[in-house]
Amino acid sequence: MTIAPAKLTDPTVRAFVTAVNAGDREAFFHVLAPDATMSDDGSDRDLDEWVDREIFGPNGRMDVQSESSGGHALVANFTNETWGEMRTAWRFTVDGGRISRFETGQA
């Protein structure tokens, strides 16, 4: 069962998922802290390069299946034109209404 982005508990994470699904790079970066960091499958990545390669270039989309940790942890079917669909886990660190770090990887 998919959880609609509007139903996600944490408003900052909700804005992140909404921006990804809308292909809205500006809104995506607006929800991130200026010095935000991220990792993919346990390795830190260059944020700008990664989001263009994995999300905005190949039309990435998150279909959230579950949430936990007050909305700061998600399991989602992530789809893009490069890799197709994969089950992914996402963990967010939210500080002052912005995401300072997110970690993703296969679930």
Domains identified in the chain, total number: 1
What would you measure as the largest C-alpha separation in the chain, in angstroms?
Answer: 34
Distances from the Cα of 40 to the Cα of 43, 90, 94, 102, angstroms: 5, 9, 18, 9
**Residue listed under structure tokens 């700061």:** 72
CA distance 72 to 79: 20
3-class secondary structure, 75: strand
Task: Work out the average pLDDT over 65-70.
Answer: 97
Range of the domain at 61: 5-106
pLDDT for position 94: 98
Domain of residue 39, CATH code? 3.10.450.50
Work out the pLDDT band at 98, boundaries 50, 70, 90.
Answer: very high
- H/E element holding 14? helix 11-22
Q: How confident is the model at residue 65, as a pLDDT? A: 98
Look up the pTM and report it: 0.96
The whole-angstrom separation of Cα 49 and Cα 95 is 23
pLDDT over 90 (residue 1):
no
Q: Express as a percent the part of the chain with pLDDT over 70.
A: 100
pLDDT reading at 96 higher than 90: yes
* Summary mean pLDDT of the chain: 97
What percentage of the chain exceeds 90 in pLDDT? Answer: 99
